[in-house]
Structure 1
Amino acid sequence: MKAASLLTAAAVALSPLAAAAQGAGGISDGVVRIGVLNDQSGVYADFGGKWSVAAAQMAVEDFGGKVNGASIQVVTADHQNKADIASNIARQWYDVDKVDMITELTTSSVALAVQQLSREKKKINMVTGAATAELTGKQCSPYGFHWAYDTHALAVGTGGALVENGGDTWFFLTADYAFGYSLEEETSKYVKLKGGKVTGAVRHPLASSDFSSFLLQAQASKAKIVGLANAGLDTSNAIKQAAEFGIVEGGQRLAGLLFTLAEVHGLGLKAAQGLVLTEGWYWDLNDETRAFAKRFQEKTGRMPNMIHVGTYSTVLQYLKAVQKAGTDETEAVAKALHEMPVDDVFARGATAAGKAPGKVLPNGRMVHDVYLFEVKKPGDSKAPWDYYKYLATIPGDQAFMKPEASGCPLVQ
């Protein structure tokens, strides 16, 4: 296991946001510590990885480097997509290193495990990298929050759009763990709701290198849409190998149910062209998103996806909540997080001027608009990272599940 490294944000001139707030309790040990726990070496390393750490650092810098007079530190570690390793790191952070909040948490099994531990320890976790809607469903927590996207939003976006455009028969190629099951289940429900039919599914291990047998089953199904209920390098490898089998040339269409700018960049437009996908943010939506992306690129050498900017948003919102509460005490900060609108470059990332900010529901789901895109053909891309053709905005209250339908006990 990689040793956690401690990255301390340098204090800069205090912005008005970082002015000392009045309130009882104060900061427990004079330092607010935020942990970014994710995959930094495996299939999701580009999906989130060190780029999410950079986004968290940007949020600290933009906030002013201090909150309520206390310094802010960002701690990071690689969980290797293993729930036991993630839980051990989180326990060490909470019990010994005095970490106040953990964010990102790529991989649904990891996020669910850390959220359970966070609930037991009465600590806040804010998920941006994991997809399962169970985080704000049956396994919700009074201290758990879910940003950026989830399986329900992906199903409504990509699944709904393809069925409405004639893709009414589906076969799923699914990652064999909690995220894959959830994404397949949510998309299947929405396909059927729209009048479509699911002809079958096959599951593959995480970090597969050979998809041939799975793709042959998908090809034999004759389904119009092969839904890739996986992510990261698994999706990229499945798309590359699908080309070798002539699946698209044979008349079937691939749906990347969780595919982001990072994976499109890694795969290239020649292979990714024509894919329809859903993201919660894109760098080229408006002047504000372009300005943020330029700053991120100057820092990292690449454009951010929704996971990276979502992590920026969680860190910034957490610091605002600490400031509002006047303390880093969990109950007070969680209350502030539930009450405050989310008004930043992530939640405002729409094409329409005057867009309302995001909001946190009683089950911890942060509601914001999401966007449907089609990956451009190579000849249609006018500049580096110009990968998406905008198709539609899906309003947040349509993209995300209603709290009363989520199964979250806190709502009941």
Structure 2
Amino acid sequence: MPSSRRGASLALAFSVALGFGSAALAQVPVKVGVLADMSGIFSDIGGKGSLEATLMAVEDFKRLPGADALAIEVVSADAQNKPDIASNVVRTWFDSEGVDVLVDLPTSAISLAVASLVKDKNKVALFTASGTSELTGKSCTPNSVHWTYDTWALAHGTADAIAKAGGKRWFFLTADFALGHSLERDAAPVIAANGGKIVGSVRHSTDTKDFSSYLLQAQSSGAQIIALANAGGDTITAIKQAAEFGITAGGQKLAGMLLFISDIHSLGLATAQGLQLTTGFYWDVNDQTRAFGKRFAARNSGRYPSMNQAGAYSAVLTYLKAVAKVGSAKDGAAVVRAIRDMGPFEDPLFGRTQLREDGRVIHPMMLVQVKAPSESKGPFDYYKVLATIPADQAFRPLADGNCPLVK
């Protein structure tokens, strides 16, 4: 068994043949590879839920006119949050198994590691779970689509709102990998622009179990805001231990720079209430998002979709439409151009959406606040929307990213 199949007991495979169409129209093969964290600290925000969302996208594409032109197969593997393992999976998928497109890609380090490989093989990467804004900056490629969010958008949503509300002195608790570095870097000028100052920072390894020494440094720093520039299980652990240390009770506030609805569910509203965060998707916004959220939850043990899982659905559905338009999945750059040529379109989950030439998908983002337990009326009724940030303001201006594709 190839090394890319390590953890095969956690990997899932599913193939769907979308009819046969007319005899005159040969089916176009398309193979989708969901490369996600299936077992680690990011599995709740992507993982098997991203695979389920991808299968839902395939099912919904099947209902569209002309869908029988494509023969679609979906495979998946556990990235184990390790760039070397993820890269080995991708090479095997591309060289031996005919995978055309990657979805999810759970960390920024993994995404940066595979982006050049995707370009070299002329495939497509749908970055729906990674955050670093470098993917549409100096590391942009004509084969990359950064769909859901990025660190620039999160910083300019959450940090801007908190700084304008009076949070001037900040301490950063930062994961020591690409995502954490990007979150802190992109937030710093926003804080400074609002008259604020970063009074200290500390970096921690991924999957840290004990944040006590870091939290004590933050507590003694004199900061008003302790910014958590991490994600998934690390964010949950840090917030829980901050509560145990009485940090918020003592007057300091936590700022989750990257939080997901699954994190809020794990924390509980009693602990998470009042937290502000920026998100690209919330299931309870309109009739379409509610329908998707309830359908997803029915297939996912009652858990509603994170923005990463929603991103996997929308990105795959759009990708399949582009392949149908091109007539082949073999020229990845041509498929990405076809998505860009769609111009602004109405995505069922993200609203008005457009792919820019740097690979950044722009759509509205939302600043939300976690409800108090008394405000929640049912399962996963966790957010109240404070503001909607228009697409043209939610993401870094095209000219500021230094993407070599931008003329």
Equivalent of 1:364, from 346, 359, 367?
Answer: 359
CA apart distance, 1:140:
0.4
Separation in structure 1 between the aligned mates of residue 255 and residue 11 of structure 2, nearest angstrom: 37
2:305 maps to which residue? 304
Separation in structure 1 between the aligned mates of residue 255 and residue 366 of structure 2, nearest angstrom: 15
For 1:2, give the aligned amino acid: G
Separation in structure 2 between the aligned mates of residue 331 and residue 390 of structure 1, nearest angstrom: 37
2:59 maps to which residue? 61
Separation in structure 2 between the aligned mates of residue 335 and residue 67 of structure 1, nearest angstrom: 20
Equivalent of 1:332, from 316, 331, 334?
Answer: 334
For 1:347, give the aligned amino acid: F
1:345 maps to which residue? 348
SS at match of 1:371: strand
Separation in structure 2 between the aligned mates of residue 8 and residue 242 of structure 1, nearest angstrom: 42
Separation in structure 2 between the aligned mates of residue 360 and residue 34 of structure 1, nearest angstrom: 20
Is the CA contact 1:38–1:48 (under 8 Å) kept in the aligned structure 2?
yes
TM-score, structure 1 normalization:
0.92
Matched, 1:2 2:3: no
1:31 maps to which residue? 29
Separation in structure 2 between the aligned mates of residue 254 and residue 227 of structure 1, nearest angstrom: 6
Separation in structure 2 between the aligned mates of residue 411 and residue 70 of structure 1, nearest angstrom: 32
Matched, 1:379 2:382: no
1:320 maps to which residue? 321
Separation in structure 1 between the aligned mates of residue 84 and residue 328 of structure 2, nearest angstrom: 31
CA apart distance, 1:344:
2.1
SS at match of 1:240: helix
2:3 maps to which residue? none
Is the CA contact 1:317–1:342 (under 8 Å) kept in the aligned structure 2?
no
CA apart distance, 1:108:
0.4
Is the CA contact 1:9–1:61 (under 8 Å) kept in the aligned structure 2?
no
SS at match of 1:358: strand
Once the two structures are superposed, what CA deviation does each residue of 1:293-313 show, in whole Å capped at 9, x if it has no partner?
Answer: 111111112110110110001
Q: Which runs of 5+ in 1 are unaligned?
A: 349-356
SS at match of 2:347: coil
Separation in structure 1 between the aligned mates of residue 58 and residue 314 of structure 2, nearest angstrom: 10
Separation in structure 1 between the aligned mates of residue 117 and residue 234 of structure 2, nearest angstrom: 28
* Counterpart mapping for 1:107-126 below 5 A: 107-126=107-126
Give the length in aligned residue pairs. Answer: 395
1:47 maps to which residue? 45
Aligned-residue Cα RMSD (Å) equals 1.8
SS at match of 1:46: coil
Separation in structure 2 between the aligned mates of residue 307 and residue 191 of structure 1, nearest angstrom: 26
1:253/1:365 CA distance change after superposition, 3 Å: same
* Counterpart mapping for 1:234-249 below 5 A: 234-249=234-249
Is the CA contact 1:36–1:74 (under 8 Å) kept in the aligned structure 2?
yes
* Counterpart mapping for 1:1-400 below 5 A: 1-3=6-8, 5=11, 7-11=13-17, 30-64=28-62, 67=67, 69-300=69-300, 301-328=302-329, 329-340=331-342, 341-348=344-351, 357-400=352-395
SS at match of 1:43: coil
1:409 maps to which residue? 404
CA apart distance, 1:377:
1.0
Q: Which runs of 5+ in 2 are unaligned?
A: 1-5
CA apart distance, 1:331:
3.1
TM-score, structure 2 normalization:
0.93
Once the two structures are superposed, what CA deviation does each residue of 1:275-317 show, in whole Å capped at 9, x if it has no partner?
Answer: 1011100011111111111111111121101101100011001
Separation in structure 2 between the aligned mates of residue 148 and residue 70 of structure 1, nearest angstrom: 25
Separation in structure 1 between the aligned mates of residue 299 and residue 392 of structure 2, nearest angstrom: 34
> How high is the sequence identity, in percent, across the aligned residues?
50
Is the CA contact 1:141–1:363 (under 8 Å) kept in the aligned structure 2?
yes
Separation in structure 1 between the aligned mates of residue 373 and residue 18 of structure 2, nearest angstrom: 42
Once the two structures are superposed, what CA deviation does each residue of 1:111-139 show, in whole Å capped at 9, x if it has no partner?
Answer: 11111210121111010100000000000
Separation in structure 1 between the aligned mates of residue 318 and residue 89 of structure 2, nearest angstrom: 23
For 2:297, give the aligned amino acid: Q
CA apart distance, 1:67:
4.2
Is the CA contact 1:32–1:72 (under 8 Å) kept in the aligned structure 2?
yes
Once the two structures are superposed, what CA deviation does each residue of 1:236-285 show, in whole Å capped at 9, x if it has no partner?
Answer: 00000001111101110000110010110111111111110111000111
